[in-house]
Structure 1
Amino acid sequence: MTAALLPILDYMPGHVWGGPGWFVLIPFFWILLIGFFIFAGRRYRWRHSSTSAEGVLRERYARGEIDDTEYRQRLEVLRTKLK
């Protein structure tokens, strides 16, 4: 990526390897990095959320509140309603 940007930075006034050209790119790098972590965190939390209907059903099955046949029936109903 930086190799592709070097010709662009040559046209910026006062460009030296530590000059103002790199100063423009540093905020974009941090914005992208922070945005990636926010996106990944939300996606991870959404996938592993126990507040979803399937998550609640899974927890009830794990605690032994419902048996295997009831779990499968309810899971099938949830998945058909989501489609």
Structure 2
Amino acid sequence: MFWYDHDLSGWGWFAMSASMILFWALIITAAVLLFRAVNRPHEHTAHTPAAPTPEHILGDRFARGEIDEDEYRRRLNALHAGSFTKP
């Protein structure tokens, strides 16, 4: 069967065994990394919510009933009247 001396020497068997182990290690590593990438929770860094504006906070307080309509309108007018400067 091996008419032209195609028999593997000891180093040939070692190289073949080492390359087989390396091949399967690469396949398993790629599978684990792919599994982790797919199951990782998605981070939406581009869609981070902006800080709420003072009008939004005031509207939330009015919606929860913490302040009445008169106080809401008074504070809203104070916000729209201009910024206060520190002395």
Q: What range describes the TM-score normalised by the shorter chain of this pair? A: 0.3 to 0.5
Q: Which has the larger radius of gyration?
A: 2
| Bigger relative CO (Cα 8 Å, ≥ 6 apart) | 2
